């Protein structure tokens, strides 16, 4: 039957041997996420430096710092751009195809990374304004990479190792965070050697040499390099066979593309079957239809809610970890350091956390996700993130005492390990597997945008909430908050809610994309001439 032949074409994708091209695709697609993590997190390393350079106050006992609204804008504008890009490019990826918009997102990231470092102006306000402008469009390009990379990798992969391949693309984020820290260490160390500067409390003016303005610009611009190097290969990647066969209805071209990429022979008869147009009305339901709500409504709620709650906790810690380190005394008070020394110490702390907790967590997921499954890893990750945050919060005053800082950093690193060997990876993987091909990129974009909404809420909420309740101990320009300890209690609660919402998301380990999305039912109906919803 025609339907059986179509299933054979799709089955060929699921059972194809792992090819060298798969690993090439991981690197090419992963460079987008490498750049994503580098660009979003390297700013947290240089915000203190920006405050010293552009907002120095003569006679102040403490170095200059970014006003709250400026710090919020710099951190938040890229997130808003990312959220917008996830929705827009997710939708566009289903309308025009994954390949057509794939190179566009990467080039946008490259150009805006460079432009961010070249931010111009004669006043602090103008420099910050241009920086924010370019970071919005940088985020817009980064946002497009989420649904496109995840969807392309899921549609290339076989069902046996699909989770590991998608996780490996996402794991490049860990290397991006690590690279941001290492680049900052190298650049700041080099400038420290050449331009020696005293601590702020010794000489406030000379503690920030004029050349420090080049440091943050170099760090930001270097994020464009890895993405630019993979641009050519990204534009050469063919459209996914699943999109071509199931959405564009051109299975002959899909067979040609799949033969080149996966080295699998497909007969022309099979290809013809997949290219036949569908008259099945249940096969054409849209995102806002009752049929989608019935089939996938709870799935979309689950993927969106878990990603939102995960990012509230993940980004609030990650973006402002420098403040947490300062709060427990792991990084000295700003006045005791020069501007370049402060960049070096913050970068060293972030690199240590990335090396010991963040990067290993990603690769544990890569190794085990197709063994234990997505559901188990996500539940375990949310559970242990909550446990370790409570371990930080309940005896918080113990951790702030002299001599106990190492224990705090170990527990803090473990929360990142179980975020990445947990929901930070699985929330990215699952939306690329459980929705129909014609809505896959859109639904992934919606889920990812929900996550970025959580990042915005968590990042800015934590920025203000974590301020000390004592007005004399708050950062300059901030109102008193509830403190780091109480903020950690709130984040632990977010992890518990995330664990509960995980039960709305189906397990996709070892199943074909068509089985998860219900497209096999549609294919069977077309093959027999029978529609379950509308009798023929």
Angle of CA points 346, 191, 173, to nearest 5°: 45
Alpha helices in 63-97 (DSSP H): 68-96
Average pLDDT over residues 256-283: 55
Query: What is the residue whose two structure tokens read 């199943």?
Result: 511
pLDDT for 521: 58
Cβ atoms of residues 515 and 498 within 8 Å? no
- Band of pLDDT at residue 3, cut at 50, 70 and 90: very low
How many other CB atoms are there within 10 angstroms of residue 149's CB atom?
A: 31
What band does 346 get if pLDDT is binned at 50, 70 and 90?
confident
Task: Provide the percentage of residues in the chain whose pLDDT is more than 70.
Answer: 87
- Conformational region of residue 17, where left means phi above 0, alpha means psi within -120 to 50, and beta covers everything else: beta
Q: What's the rounded mean pLDDT across residues 440-454?
A: 96
Which is higher by pLDDT, 270 or 518? 518
CA dist 384 and 414 (Å) reads 8
pLDDT value of residue 461: 76
Residue pLDDT, tens place only, 57-85: 888 888 988 887 888 888 789 889 999 99
pLDDT at 468: 76
Question: Residue 530: pLDDT above 50?
Answer: no
Rounded to whole angstroms, the Cα distance separating 313 from 301 reads 19
Dihedral over Cα of 463, 468, 470, 475: its sign: negative
Higher per-residue pLDDT: 161 or 459: 161
Count other C-beta atoms under 10 Å from residue 277's C-beta. 7
Q: Is the pLDDT of residue 375 over 60?
A: yes
pLDDT tens-digit readout, 136-192? 999 999 999 999 999 988 888 888 889 999 999 999 988 998 999 999 999 999 999
> Among 379-383, 456-460, 508-512, which range has the highest average pLDDT?
379-383
Average pLDDT over residues 355-361: 81
Give the distance, in angstroms, between the CA of residue 516 and the centroid of all CA atoms in the same chain: 24
DSSP code string of 156-178: HS-TTTHHHHHHHHHHHHHHHHH
Q: Which residue, among 403, 417, 401, has the nearest Cα to 354 in the 3D structure? A: 417
For residue 71, give the nearest of 453, 451, 464 by alpha carbon.
464
Kindly state the average pLDDT of the residues 191-209.
90
What is the CA 172 to chain-centroid distance, rounded? 10
pLDDT for 271: 43
pLDDT, tens digit (0-9, with 9 covering 90-100), for 83-132: 999 999 999 999 998 888 888 888 899 999 999 999 887 789 999 999 99
For residue 402, pLDDT over 90 is answered with no
pLDDT at 19 over 50: yes
Report yes or no: 150 and 169 within 8 Å, Cβ to Cβ: yes
What's the chain's length in residues?
536
Residue 384 falls in which region: left (phi positive, over 0), alpha (psi -120 to 50) or beta: alpha
State yes or no: pLDDT of 321 exceeds 80. no
**Average of pLDDT values for 406-431?**
88
Q: Is the pLDDT of residue 472 over 60?
A: yes
Angle at which helix 98-117 crosses helix 124-156, to 10 degrees, equals 150
Is pLDDT above 50 for 392? yes
Confidence at residue 274, expressed as pLDDT on a 0 to 100 scale: 43
- Of 469, 468, 453, 385, nearest to 83 (Cα)? 453
Positive or negative, the CA dihedral 510, 238, 282, 298 is positive
Residue 453: its pLDDT value, please? 94
Q: Provide the mean pLDDT of the chain.
A: 83
Q: Say which residue, 23 or 273, is predicted with more confidence.
A: 23
pLDDT of residue 182: 93
- Residue % of the chain over a pLDDT of 90: 38
Task: Answer whether residue 465 shows pLDDT above 90.
Answer: no
Q: Distance (Å, rounded) from C-alpha 45 to C-alpha 184?
A: 8
Other beta carbons within 10 Å of 387? 15
* The pLDDT of residue 306: 97
The answer to whether the Cα torsion of 353, 174, 68, 479 is positive or negative is negative
pLDDT for the residue numbered 457: 87
pLDDT confidence tier of residue 450, bands split at 50, 70 and 90: very high
Give the pLDDT mean for 484-494: 88
Confidence of residue 1 (pLDDT cuts 50, 70, 90): very low
Q: Does residue 282 contact residue 531 with C-beta atoms inside 8 Å?
A: yes
Instruction: Quote the distance between the C-alpha of residue 30 and its chain's center.
Output: 11
Which pLDDT does position 474 carry in this prediction? 75
Instruction: Render 128-147 in DSSP notation, one character per residue.
Output: HHHHHHHHHHHHHHHHHHHH
Reported as type and span, the H/E element at residue 5 is helix 2-15
Q: How far is CA 58 from CA 55, 63, 152, 197, 392, in A?
A: 10, 9, 54, 17, 38
Which residues, including other chains, have CB under 8 Å from residue 352's CB and lie 6 or more apart?
Answer: 409, 413
Nearest to 314 by CA among 211, 415, 246, 429: 415
């Amino acid at each position: 039957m025609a339907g059986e032949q179509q299933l054979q074409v799709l089955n060929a994708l699921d059972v194809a041997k792992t090819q060298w091209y798969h690993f090439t695709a991981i690197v090419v697609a992963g460079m987008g996420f490498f750049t994503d993590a580098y660009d979003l997190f390297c700013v947290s390393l240089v915000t203190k430096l920006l405050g010293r350079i552009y907002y120095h106050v003569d006679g102040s006992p403490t170095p200059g710092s970014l006003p709250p609204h400026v710090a919020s804008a710099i951190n938040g504008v890229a997130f808003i751009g990312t959220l917008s890009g996830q929705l827009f490019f997710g939708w566009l990826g289903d309308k025009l195809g994954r390949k057509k918009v794939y190179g566009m997102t990467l080039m946008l990231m490259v150009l805006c990374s460079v432009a961010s470092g070249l931010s111009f102006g004669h006043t602090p306000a103008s420099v910050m304004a241009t920086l924010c402008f370019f970071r919005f469009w940088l985020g817009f390009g980064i946002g497009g990479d989420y649904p496109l990379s995840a969807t392309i990798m899921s549609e290339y992969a076989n069902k046996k190792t699909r989770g590991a391949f998608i996780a490996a693309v996402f794991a490049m984020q860990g290397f991006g965070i690590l690279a941001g820290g290492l680049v900052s260490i190298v650049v700041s160390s080099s400038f420290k050697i050449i331009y020696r500067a005293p601590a702020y409390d010794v000489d406030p003016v000379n503690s920030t040499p004029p050349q420090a303005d080049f440091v943050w610009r170099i760090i930001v611009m270097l994020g464009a390099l890895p993405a630019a190097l993979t641009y050519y290969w990204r534009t050469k990647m063919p459209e996914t066979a699943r999109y071509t066969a199931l959405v564009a209805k051109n299975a002959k071209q899909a067979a040609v593309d799949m033969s080149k990429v996966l080295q699998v022979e497909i007969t022309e008869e099979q290809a013809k079957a997949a290219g036949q147009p569908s008259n099945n009305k249940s096969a054409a339901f849209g995102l806002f239809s009752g049929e989608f709500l019935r089939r996938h409504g709870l799935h979309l709620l689950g993927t969106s809610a878990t990603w939102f709650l995960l990012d509230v906790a993940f980004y609030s810690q990650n973006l402002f970890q420098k403040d947490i380190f300062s709060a427990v005394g792991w990084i000295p008070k700003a006045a005791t350091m020069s501007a370049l020394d402060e960049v070096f110490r913050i970068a060293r702390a972030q690199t240590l956390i990335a090396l010991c907790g963040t990067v290993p967590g990603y690769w544990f997921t890569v190794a085990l996700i197709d063994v234990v499954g997505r559901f188990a890893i996500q539940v375990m990750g949310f559970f242990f993130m909550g446990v370790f945050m409570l371990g930080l919060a309940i005896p918080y005053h113990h951790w702030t005492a002299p001599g106990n800082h190492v224990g705090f950093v170990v527990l803090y690193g473990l929360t990142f390990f179980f975020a990445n060997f947990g929901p930070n990876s699985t929330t990215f993987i699952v939306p690329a597997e459980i929705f129909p091909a014609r809505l896959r990129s859109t639904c992934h974009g919606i889920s990812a945008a929900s996550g970025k909404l959580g990042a915005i809420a968590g990042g800015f909420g934590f920025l203000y909430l974590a301020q000390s309740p004592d007005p004399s101990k708050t950062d300059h320009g901030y109102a008193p908050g509830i403190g780091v300890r109480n903020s950690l209690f709130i984040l632990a609660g977010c992890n518990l809610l995330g664990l509960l919402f995980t039960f709305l998301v189906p397990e996709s380990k070892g199943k074909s994309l068509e089985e998860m999305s219900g497209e096999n039912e549609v294919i069977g109906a077309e093959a027999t001439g029978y529609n379950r919803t509308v009798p023929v």
